[in-house]
Amino acid sequence: MDAAGMERLEQELKRLKLRRVREVLEDYNRLAISQQLSHLDFLAGLMHEEVTARDTTQQQKRLAAAGFPMLKTLEAFDFGFQTSVSRQEVMELARLRFIDEHSNVCLVGPPGVGKSHLATALGYKAVLAGRTVRFTTAQDLVEDLYAALADGSLRVRMRALGRLDLLIIDELGFLALDNTASNHFFQVVAQAYEQRSLIVTSNRPYQEWGSIFASTTIATAVLDRLLHHVTTLSLRGDSYRLKGGMPPLPPAESPPVPS
Ligand SMILES: Nc1ncnc2c1ncn2[C@@H]1O[C@H](COP(=O)(O)OP(=O)(O)OP(=O)(O)O)[C@@H](O)[C@H]1O
Ligand SMILES: [Mg+2]
Protein backbone atom coordinates (compact mmCIF):
# COMPACT_ATOMS: atom_id res chain seq x y z
CA MET A 1 0.00 0.00 0.00
CA ASP A 2 1.35 3.45 -0.88
CA ALA A 3 1.70 6.30 1.63
CA ALA A 4 -1.50 8.04 0.50
CA GLY A 5 -3.51 4.83 0.88
CA MET A 6 -2.03 4.27 4.32
CA GLU A 7 -2.86 7.82 5.35
CA ARG A 8 -6.48 7.38 4.22
CA LEU A 9 -6.76 4.07 6.10
CA GLU A 10 -5.41 5.77 9.24
CA GLN A 11 -7.98 8.56 8.95
CA GLU A 12 -10.85 6.15 8.37
CA LEU A 13 -9.85 3.95 11.31
CA LYS A 14 -9.78 7.12 13.38
CA ARG A 15 -13.23 8.12 12.15
CA LEU A 16 -14.58 4.69 13.02
CA LYS A 17 -12.86 4.95 16.44
CA LEU A 18 -11.01 1.67 15.92
CA ARG A 19 -8.19 2.73 18.20
CA ARG A 20 -6.77 -0.68 18.95
CA VAL A 21 -6.76 -1.62 15.26
CA ARG A 22 -4.76 1.53 14.56
CA GLU A 23 -2.31 0.65 17.30
CA VAL A 24 -1.62 -2.90 16.17
CA LEU A 25 -2.13 -2.58 12.43
CA GLU A 26 1.53 -2.43 11.42
CA ASP A 27 2.64 -5.27 13.71
CA TYR A 28 -0.33 -7.32 12.63
CA ASN A 29 0.40 -6.68 8.99
CA ARG A 30 3.98 -7.92 9.43
CA LEU A 31 2.67 -10.98 11.29
CA ALA A 32 0.15 -11.70 8.54
CA ILE A 33 2.90 -11.58 5.89
CA SER A 34 5.35 -13.74 7.86
CA GLN A 35 2.71 -16.31 8.80
CA GLN A 36 0.87 -16.12 5.48
CA LEU A 37 -2.46 -15.49 7.20
CA SER A 38 -5.56 -15.60 5.03
CA HIS A 39 -7.41 -12.31 4.55
CA LEU A 40 -10.17 -13.55 6.79
CA ASP A 41 -7.79 -14.65 9.56
CA PHE A 42 -6.10 -11.26 9.35
CA LEU A 43 -9.43 -9.44 9.66
CA ALA A 44 -10.64 -11.75 12.44
CA GLY A 45 -7.42 -11.20 14.42
CA LEU A 46 -7.68 -7.43 14.14
CA MET A 47 -11.35 -7.41 15.13
CA HIS A 48 -10.59 -9.62 18.12
CA GLU A 49 -7.91 -7.15 19.25
CA GLU A 50 -10.41 -4.28 19.04
CA VAL A 51 -13.21 -6.11 20.84
CA THR A 52 -10.90 -7.33 23.62
CA ALA A 53 -9.48 -3.84 24.14
CA ARG A 54 -12.97 -2.35 24.31
CA ASP A 55 -14.14 -4.99 26.79
CA THR A 56 -11.16 -4.23 29.01
CA THR A 57 -11.81 -0.49 28.88
CA GLN A 58 -15.49 -0.99 29.70
CA GLN A 59 -14.60 -3.29 32.57
CA GLN A 60 -12.20 -0.74 34.02
CA LYS A 61 -14.86 1.96 33.73
CA ARG A 62 -17.45 -0.23 35.44
CA LEU A 63 -14.97 -1.07 38.19
CA ALA A 64 -14.18 2.59 38.81
CA ALA A 65 -17.89 3.47 38.77
CA ALA A 66 -18.67 0.71 41.28
CA GLY A 67 -16.71 2.63 43.92
CA PHE A 68 -15.49 -0.31 45.97
CA PRO A 69 -13.58 1.10 48.94
CA MET A 70 -11.27 -1.93 48.78
CA LEU A 71 -10.98 -4.77 46.36
CA LYS A 72 -11.92 -8.05 48.02
CA THR A 73 -12.20 -11.36 46.25
CA LEU A 74 -13.85 -14.67 47.01
CA GLU A 75 -10.51 -16.35 46.42
CA ALA A 76 -9.09 -14.37 49.35
CA PHE A 77 -11.96 -15.29 51.68
CA ASP A 78 -10.98 -17.87 54.29
CA PHE A 79 -13.96 -20.20 54.59
CA GLY A 80 -11.96 -22.17 57.14
CA PHE A 81 -12.05 -19.21 59.51
CA GLN A 82 -15.63 -18.20 58.72
CA THR A 83 -17.51 -21.47 59.05
CA SER A 84 -21.00 -20.08 59.61
CA VAL A 85 -21.35 -19.41 55.91
CA SER A 86 -21.38 -22.18 53.36
CA ARG A 87 -18.74 -21.91 50.64
CA GLN A 88 -21.13 -23.71 48.30
CA GLU A 89 -23.89 -21.16 48.88
CA VAL A 90 -21.50 -18.25 48.32
CA MET A 91 -20.12 -19.85 45.15
CA GLU A 92 -23.69 -20.33 43.92
CA LEU A 93 -24.30 -16.60 44.49
CA ALA A 94 -21.07 -15.88 42.60
CA ARG A 95 -22.68 -17.42 39.51
CA LEU A 96 -24.85 -14.28 39.65
CA ARG A 97 -28.16 -15.95 38.96
CA PHE A 98 -29.60 -13.78 41.72
CA ILE A 99 -28.93 -10.74 39.51
CA ASP A 100 -30.68 -12.31 36.52
CA GLU A 101 -33.61 -13.15 38.79
CA HIS A 102 -33.67 -9.66 40.35
CA SER A 103 -33.45 -11.10 43.83
CA ASN A 104 -31.46 -9.82 46.79
CA VAL A 105 -28.73 -10.90 49.18
CA CYS A 106 -28.59 -9.84 52.82
CA LEU A 107 -25.50 -10.41 54.94
CA VAL A 108 -26.19 -10.08 58.62
CA GLY A 109 -23.84 -10.48 61.56
CA PRO A 110 -21.54 -8.87 64.11
CA PRO A 111 -18.43 -6.76 63.31
CA GLY A 112 -15.50 -8.19 61.39
CA VAL A 113 -17.10 -11.46 60.28
CA GLY A 114 -16.71 -10.72 56.56
CA LYS A 115 -19.99 -9.09 55.49
CA SER A 116 -18.40 -6.23 53.54
CA HIS A 117 -15.74 -8.57 52.18
CA LEU A 118 -18.30 -10.97 50.72
CA ALA A 119 -20.54 -8.15 49.47
CA THR A 120 -17.58 -6.53 47.68
CA ALA A 121 -16.34 -9.83 46.29
CA LEU A 122 -19.77 -10.65 44.83
CA GLY A 123 -19.97 -7.13 43.40
CA TYR A 124 -16.54 -7.53 41.85
CA LYS A 125 -17.64 -10.79 40.21
CA ALA A 126 -20.63 -8.94 38.81
CA VAL A 127 -18.41 -6.18 37.37
CA LEU A 128 -16.19 -8.79 35.71
CA ALA A 129 -19.31 -10.39 34.25
CA GLY A 130 -20.32 -7.11 32.63
CA ARG A 131 -22.93 -5.87 35.13
CA THR A 132 -23.23 -2.33 36.40
CA VAL A 133 -22.65 -2.17 40.12
CA ARG A 134 -22.47 0.55 42.76
CA PHE A 135 -21.15 0.12 46.28
CA THR A 136 -22.25 2.57 48.95
CA THR A 137 -22.75 2.64 52.67
CA ALA A 138 -26.28 3.23 53.93
CA GLN A 139 -25.02 6.47 55.44
CA ASP A 140 -23.51 7.74 52.17
CA LEU A 141 -26.63 6.69 50.28
CA VAL A 142 -29.01 8.66 52.47
CA GLU A 143 -26.66 11.67 52.61
CA ASP A 144 -26.41 11.61 48.84
CA LEU A 145 -30.20 11.49 48.50
CA TYR A 146 -30.57 14.28 51.06
CA ALA A 147 -28.23 16.42 48.95
CA ALA A 148 -30.18 15.49 45.82
CA LEU A 149 -33.43 16.49 47.53
CA ALA A 150 -31.89 19.85 48.40
CA ASP A 151 -30.66 20.61 44.89
CA GLY A 152 -33.74 19.27 43.11
CA SER A 153 -32.01 16.27 41.53
CA LEU A 154 -33.68 13.53 43.58
CA ARG A 155 -35.59 12.04 40.65
CA VAL A 156 -32.47 11.98 38.49
CA ARG A 157 -30.43 10.33 41.28
CA MET A 158 -33.14 7.77 41.94
CA ARG A 159 -33.39 6.97 38.25
CA ALA A 160 -29.61 6.50 38.06
CA LEU A 161 -29.76 4.07 40.99
CA GLY A 162 -32.61 2.26 39.28
CA ARG A 163 -30.51 1.62 36.20
CA LEU A 164 -27.83 -0.34 38.08
CA ASP A 165 -27.85 -4.12 37.84
CA LEU A 166 -26.69 -4.35 41.44
CA LEU A 167 -26.66 -1.83 44.26
CA ILE A 168 -24.66 -2.80 47.35
CA ILE A 169 -25.71 -1.01 50.53
CA ASP A 170 -23.21 -1.63 53.30
CA GLU A 171 -23.56 -1.03 57.03
CA LEU A 172 -27.29 -0.57 57.37
CA GLY A 173 -28.10 -0.15 61.02
CA PHE A 174 -25.01 1.58 62.36
CA LEU A 175 -27.05 4.74 62.52
CA ALA A 176 -30.79 5.22 62.85
CA LEU A 177 -32.42 6.93 59.87
CA ASP A 178 -34.75 9.88 60.31
CA ASN A 179 -38.10 10.13 58.53
CA THR A 180 -36.78 11.58 55.26
CA ALA A 181 -33.83 9.19 55.11
CA SER A 182 -36.13 6.25 55.90
CA ASN A 183 -38.46 7.29 53.10
CA HIS A 184 -35.58 7.62 50.65
CA PHE A 185 -34.28 4.21 51.65
CA PHE A 186 -37.74 2.75 51.15
CA GLN A 187 -37.92 4.30 47.68
CA VAL A 188 -34.60 2.71 46.73
CA VAL A 189 -35.79 -0.71 47.87
CA ALA A 190 -39.24 -0.32 46.31
CA GLN A 191 -37.76 0.78 42.98
CA ALA A 192 -35.43 -2.24 42.91
CA TYR A 193 -38.16 -4.70 43.90
CA GLU A 194 -38.38 -7.43 41.26
CA GLN A 195 -36.50 -5.18 38.80
CA ARG A 196 -32.93 -5.02 40.12
CA SER A 197 -30.78 -6.62 42.79
CA LEU A 198 -29.62 -5.32 46.12
CA ILE A 199 -26.98 -6.61 48.48
CA VAL A 200 -27.49 -5.21 51.97
CA THR A 201 -25.18 -5.78 54.91
CA SER A 202 -26.19 -5.10 58.48
CA ASN A 203 -24.93 -5.77 61.96
CA ARG A 204 -28.54 -5.99 63.16
CA PRO A 205 -30.78 -9.03 62.81
CA TYR A 206 -34.06 -8.42 60.97
CA GLN A 207 -36.04 -8.33 64.24
CA GLU A 208 -34.14 -5.16 65.17
CA TRP A 209 -34.66 -3.30 61.90
CA GLY A 210 -37.69 -1.57 63.39
CA SER A 211 -35.32 0.66 65.32
CA ILE A 212 -33.20 1.55 62.26
CA PHE A 213 -36.10 3.27 60.49
CA ALA A 214 -38.26 6.17 61.59
CA SER A 215 -41.35 3.99 61.94
CA THR A 216 -42.21 0.32 62.08
CA THR A 217 -44.47 0.91 59.08
CA ILE A 218 -41.48 1.87 56.93
CA ALA A 219 -39.33 -0.92 58.40
CA THR A 220 -42.04 -3.46 57.60
CA ALA A 221 -42.49 -2.14 54.07
CA VAL A 222 -38.72 -2.25 53.45
CA LEU A 223 -38.36 -5.77 54.86
CA ASP A 224 -41.41 -7.01 52.97
CA ARG A 225 -39.93 -6.04 49.59
CA LEU A 226 -36.30 -6.80 50.38
CA LEU A 227 -36.99 -10.26 51.76
CA HIS A 228 -39.58 -11.45 49.22
CA HIS A 229 -36.77 -12.79 47.00
CA VAL A 230 -33.66 -12.99 49.14
CA THR A 231 -30.74 -15.14 50.13
CA THR A 232 -29.80 -14.35 53.71
CA LEU A 233 -26.33 -15.18 54.94
CA SER A 234 -26.19 -15.01 58.73
CA LEU A 235 -22.56 -14.75 59.70
CA ARG A 236 -21.42 -15.52 63.20
CA GLY A 237 -18.17 -15.92 65.05
CA ASP A 238 -15.19 -13.84 65.98
CA SER A 239 -13.99 -10.78 64.16
CA TYR A 240 -11.33 -11.53 61.56
CA ARG A 241 -9.81 -8.19 62.52
CA LEU A 242 -8.93 -9.66 65.92
CA LYS A 243 -7.67 -12.93 64.49
CA GLY A 244 -4.26 -12.57 66.12
CA GLY A 245 -5.93 -12.08 69.49
CA MET A 246 -7.45 -9.12 71.21
CA PRO A 247 -4.93 -6.28 71.75
CA PRO A 248 -4.36 -5.56 75.45
CA LEU A 249 -6.78 -2.98 76.81
CA PRO A 250 -5.18 0.22 78.14
CA PRO A 251 -4.79 0.11 81.93
CA ALA A 252 -7.81 1.46 83.79
CA GLU A 253 -7.24 4.84 85.38
CA SER A 254 -6.68 4.53 89.08
CA PRO A 255 -9.39 6.20 91.17
CA PRO A 256 -8.47 9.56 92.67
CA VAL A 257 -6.90 9.21 96.04
CA PRO A 258 -8.99 11.00 98.70
CA SER A 259 -6.95 13.72 100.34
N1 LIG B 1 -13.12 -15.21 56.44
C2 LIG B 1 -12.31 -14.21 56.04
N3 LIG B 1 -11.23 -14.47 55.25
C4 LIG B 1 -10.38 -13.49 54.89
N5 LIG B 1 -10.49 -12.20 55.27
C6 LIG B 1 -11.53 -11.89 56.06
C7 LIG B 1 -12.49 -12.86 56.48
N8 LIG B 1 -13.41 -12.27 57.25
C9 LIG B 1 -13.06 -10.98 57.29
N10 LIG B 1 -11.93 -10.74 56.60
C11 LIG B 1 -11.19 -9.47 56.50
O12 LIG B 1 -11.33 -8.84 57.76
C13 LIG B 1 -11.62 -7.46 57.62
C14 LIG B 1 -12.99 -7.17 58.23
O15 LIG B 1 -13.99 -7.86 57.44
P16 LIG B 1 -15.29 -7.10 56.92
O17 LIG B 1 -14.96 -5.66 56.68
O18 LIG B 1 -15.85 -7.86 55.79
O19 LIG B 1 -16.20 -7.24 58.19
P20 LIG B 1 -17.71 -6.82 58.41
O21 LIG B 1 -18.48 -8.03 58.75
O22 LIG B 1 -18.15 -6.00 57.25
O23 LIG B 1 -17.59 -5.92 59.73
P24 LIG B 1 -18.36 -4.55 60.14
O25 LIG B 1 -19.72 -4.94 60.62
O26 LIG B 1 -17.50 -4.00 61.25
O27 LIG B 1 -18.38 -3.67 58.94
C28 LIG B 1 -11.53 -7.18 56.13
O29 LIG B 1 -10.22 -6.75 55.84
C30 LIG B 1 -11.81 -8.52 55.49
O31 LIG B 1 -11.19 -8.64 54.22
MG1 LIG C 1 -18.45 -4.00 57.02
Residue-wise pLDDT tens digits, 197-244? 999 999 999 999 999 999 999 999 999 999 999 999 999 999 999 887
> How remote is the CA of residue 186 from the centroid of ligand 2, in Å?
21
**pLDDT tens, the chain, 259 aa long:** 889 999 999 999 999 999 999 999 999 999 999 999 999 999 999 999 999 999 999 999 999 999 999 999 999 999 999 999 999 999 999 999 999 999 999 999 999 999 999 999 999 999 999 999 999 999 999 999 999 999 999 999 999 999 999 999 999 999 999 999 999 999 999 999 999 999 999 999 999 999 999 999 999 999 999 999 999 999 999 999 988 766 666 666 665 655 5
Domains and CATH numbers, the chain: 3-65 (no CATH), 87-238 (3.40.50.300)
Query: Are 116 and 172 within 8 A, CB to CB?
Result: no
Q: Compute the distance between CA of residue 195 and CA of residue 213 in angstroms, rounded to an integer.
A: 23
Residue 174 amino acid letter:
F
Q: Whose CA is nearest to atom 26 of ligand 1?
A: 111
Q: Which atom of ligand 1 is nearest to the CA of 235?
A: 21
Strand segments, DSSP code E, in the chain are 104-108, 133-137, 166-172, 197-202, 230-234
Query: Are 157 and 166 within 8 A, CB to CB?
Result: no
Q: Compute the distance between CA of residue 226 and CA of residue 106 in angstroms, rounded to an integer.
A: 9
Q: Which atom of ligand 1 is nearest to the CA of 118?
A: 18
Our mutation pick for probing the ligand 1 site, out of 117, 174, 204, 243, counting the most ligand atoms within 8 A of Cβ, is 117
125 lines ligand 1 (CB under 6 A): no
- Calculate the CA dihedral of residues 91, 97, 99, 103 and round it to 10 degrees: -90
Q: Which residues contact 6 (CB under 8 A, 6 or more apart)?
A: none
> How remote is the CA of residue 111 from the centroid of ligand 1, in Å?
8
Cβ neighbours around 186 below 10 Å, total: 19
